[in-house]
A and B are shown apart, each in its own frame.
Chain A
Amino acid sequence: MSAPLLRAEGLHKAFGSTAALHDASFAIDAGEVVAVMGPSGSGKSTLLHCLAGIAVPDQGRVLYGDVDLGAASDAKRSALRRTDFGFVFQFGQLVPELTAVENVALPLRLNGVARRPAEATATEWLDRLEVGDVARKTPGNISGGQGQRVAVARALATRPRVLFADEPTGALDSLNGERVMELLTEAARETSAAVVLVTHEARVAAYSDREVVVRDGRTRSPELTR
Chain B
Amino acid sequence: MSGWLRDLALGARLAISGGRGAWVRTAMTAVGVGLGVALLLLAASFPTAIAARDDRTSARDDYRFGVPEVRRGPASLLIADAPTVFRGVDVRGRLVQPEGPDAPLPPGLDRLPRAGEVVVSPRLQELLDRPDAALLRPRIPGRVVGTIGDAGLEGPVEAAYYAGAADLSVESGARRIDRFGSVQPDEGLDPVLAFLVVVAVVVLLLPVAVFVAAAARFGGEARDRRLAALRLVGADRRGVRRIAAGESLVGALGGLLVGAVVFGLATRVVPELPVASLSLFASDVRPALPLALLVLLAVPAVAVVVTQIALTRVAIDPLGVVRRGATRSRRLAWRLALPVVGLLLLVPLLGVDLTQGEGFNPVLTSAGVVLLLVGVTALLPWLVEALVDRLDGRGGVAWQLAVRRLQLDRGASARTVSGIAVAVAGAIALTSLFGAVEDDRAVATGADLEAAQAQVYYTVRPGRDDAAQLDRRLAAVPGVRSVLAWSEASITEAAHPDRSAFLTVASCSTLRRLARIRSCQDGDAFVTPEGPAPGASVRIAETGPWRVPADARRVVSDPKPSGGDTTGVLATPSAAADLTSVGATYADVALDARNPDHLEGLRNAAAAVTPLAVAQELQSTRDDRDLAAVRRAVYAGAVAVLALIAASMVVAALEGLHERRRLLASLVAFGTPPRTLGRSLLLQTAVPVALGLVLAIGVGLGLGALLLRIVGSPVRFDVVPILGIAAVGAAVVPVVTALTVPALRRIVRPDGLRTE
Contacts and interface: CB of A to CB of B under 8 A. Distances in A.
A144 to B, nearest CB: 11
A55 B755 contact: no
A54 B674 CA distance: 13
A49 B669 CA distance: 9
A110 B672 contact: yes
Interface string A50-87: 00101100000000000000000000001111110111
Interface string B657-677: 000001100111111110010
Contacts of A125: none
Contacts of A80: 671
Contacts of A110: 397, 671-673, 676
Contacts of B405: 97
Interface stretch (A40-48, A202-210, A216-224): A40-48
B755 A81 contact: no
A45 B753 contact: yes
Contact of B670 (A41, A45, A98, A107): A107
A83 B673 CA distance: 13
Interface in A90-131: 90-91, 93, 95-98, 102, 106-107, 109-111, 115
Main secondary structure of the interface of A (DSSP, over half): mixed
A170 interface: yes
A210 B409 CA distance: 45
Interface residues of B, number: 27
B755 A54 contact: no
Main secondary structure of the interface of B (DSSP, over half): helix
B753 A96 contact: no
Given A95-B404, A97-B404, A138-B408, A86 B670 contact: yes
Central interface residue in B394, B405, B407, B669, by most chain A CB within 10 Å: B669
A135 B670 CA distance: 21
A166 B753 contact: yes
Nearest to A151: B666
A32 interface: no
Nearest to A89: B666
Interface string B100-117: 000000000000000000
B404 A89 contact: no
B754 A45 contact: yes
B404 A98 contact: yes
B711 interface: no
A167 B753 CA distance: 11
Contact of B666 (A86, A93, A97, A102): A93
A110 to B, nearest CB: 6
Given A95-B663, A97-B404, A40 B671 contact: no
A166 B408 CA distance: 28
A167 B755 contact: yes
Interface residues of A, number: 39
B564 interface: no
Contacts of B754: 45
A98 B671 contact: no
A97 B755 contact: no
Nearest to A167: B755
Given A110-B397, A138-B408, A95 B667 contact: yes
Central interface residue in A87, A95, A98, by most chain B CB within 10 Å: A95
A171 to B, nearest CB: 10
Interface of B: 393-394, 397, 400-401, 404-405, 407-409, 662-663, 666-673, 676, 750-751, 753-756
30 contacts: A40-B756, A49-B750, A49-B753, A52-B669, A54-B753, A78-B673, A79-B671, A80-B671, A81-B670, A81-B671, A85-B670, A86-B670, A87-B666, A87-B669, A89-B666, A89-B669, A89-B753, A95-B404, A95-B663, A95-B667, A98-B393, A98-B400, A102-B393, A102-B404, A106-B672, A107-B670, A110-B397, A110-B673, A138-B408, A166-B753
Given A15-B751, A55-B750, A154-B670, 13 more contacts: A45-B754, A81-B670, A82-B671, A82-B672, A85-B670, A86-B670, A87-B666, A87-B669, A89-B669, A95-B667, A98-B400, A111-B671, A155-B670
